[in-house]
Amino acid sequence: MFQVLENQNDQELIFYKSIFRDIHSDPQYVRIYDRIQWGKALFFYIEDSLGFIAFPFYIFYRKLEQITVKEVRSIYGYTSFLSDSEISCSRLLNAMKAFVNWCESENICVGSLVLDPRLNQFLADIPSEWLSRQKSVFSLDGPRMDWNRQKFCKKAAADARYFFKTGCVDLVDGIDMDISLFDEMYRKTMDRVEAADRWYWPMQYWETLSASGNEFDCKFAVASTDGEPRLVSMFIGANSTFYYHFSASQGMPTRGASAAAFFRLSDYAFERGASRVHLGGGVNSLETNPLARFKRSLSNVVEDLYLLKLVIDGDAYLKAGGVNDDSFFPRYEFV
């Protein structure tokens, strides 16, 4: 028996009953996406003889060329597979097969769920066609940053010092940020780099995250020179993890601004007890991916990341530009 839940109280009850939860399975991460108009946050719940397995996910639509792709994705960071008893590989696979059946009934094309690292013990037994190995960039270890340590790129540290000679970085709470300024800078940045349409997020996305209050610690690192903002970086996080979400620059990038913003926020995060600042995945191919090069310019720490990849409607996926191989998944996201 499985259910797809929308009721907030049911979702929170499952979180609190689970013995398999951590910061990534905080019910607040589900709430935040309930308010995003272009997507829909849901919760998959299945019972078996040993109890239940459940995980949060969200649905949204991508318009790619002439194709609209209906996706299911992780909500934040890793997909938190929750249970009231230990999860085995067979239980995980049974849950995913039921999930695929539900996706087919909802005309969903693609699923990409970031596998909780605690489930990596099952990698050898998960069908290879369901796995996509990627890499993520992290800045690890607190409580404070040491720019001279090997985990940071020396050039990034030098660039940050150069910027701080004449500039400054202010941290602004999300609720106090001028979102229209960030949105304008972000769109101009995407125009300048000729980004694909999928990178143009609606205004309500920024508004939702910035107004999250106690649900997320949303901060904007504003790097300025001569009293003018040159770059604004958006970070979201809670407790032990912060995530470098997006950056926008005013005109051509100012040397050291992004590195200075990253280090300033990292100092803040570690002072609050965080152990990780997450720069995101998708860094497999530095030669063809400028976003990957940017992430690797800030940190030398790279970790393997595994996706549970589900190609549910193969024809629609291929028409959207996807390739079902061992490369970055979903392939149409690859720059």
Same domain, 11 and 122: yes
Q: Are residues 239 and 184 in the same domain?
A: yes
Residue 155 lies in a domain: yes
Let me know if residue 114 belongs to a domain: yes
| Residue where one domain finishes, among candidates 233, 253, 274 | 274
Residues 6 and 124 in one domain: yes
Q: What's phi and psi for 200, nearest 5 deg?
A: -95, 100
Q: How confident is the model at residue 89, as a pLDDT?
A: 93
As for how many domains the chain has, the answer is: 2
184 and 270 assigned to the same domain? yes
Residue 294 forms part of a structural domain:
no
In-domain check, residue 317: yes
Whether 289 is in a domain gets the answer no
In this structure, the answer to whether residues 268 and 311 fall within a common structural domain is: no
Taking the C-alpha atoms of residue 159 and residue 212, their distance in angstroms, rounded to an integer, is 32
**Per-residue pLDDT tens for 237-281?**
765 678 788 889 988 778 999 999 988 988 888 888 777 777 766
Q: Do both 127 and 223 map to the same domain?
A: no
Residues 6+ apart with CB under 8 A from 66: none
Q: How many angstroms separate the CA atoms of 329 and 51, rounded?
A: 32
> Is 40 among the domain residues?
yes
Which residue range forms the structural domain that includes residue 247? 142-274
To 10 degrees, the CA torsion angle through 87, 93, 96, 101?
A: -140
Residues 47 and 76 reside in one and the same domain: yes
147 SS3 class: coil
* β-strand pairing of 67-73 with 51-64: antiparallel
Mean pLDDT over each residue of the chain, to the nearest integer: 78
State whether 176 and 251 are in the same domain. yes
Beta carbons within 10 angstroms of residue 328's beta carbon: 24
Answer yes or no: is 290 within a domain: no
Same domain? For 124 and 165 the reply is no
Residue 159 shares a structural domain with residue 255: yes
Write out pLDDT tens, residues 129-156: 898 887 766 655 444 445 444 456 778 8
Same domain, yes or no: 152 and 254: yes
Q: Which stretch of DSSP H or E encloses residue 60?
A: strand 51-64
The CATH number assigned to the domain holding 88 equals 3.40.630.30
Per-residue tens of pLDDT for the chain, all 335 residues: 667 766 666 767 777 777 776 545 555 545 544 444 445 667 888 998 999 888 878 777 777 767 778 888 876 556 778 888 889 999 999 999 999 999 999 899 988 888 877 788 899 999 988 988 877 666 554 444 454 444 567 788 888 899 999 999 999 999 999 999 999 999 999 898 887 666 777 787 788 778 766 566 889 999 999 999 999 999 887 656 787 888 899 887 789 999 999 889 888 888 887 777 777 666 655 566 677 777 777 777 777 778 888 889 888 888 877 776 666 677 666 53
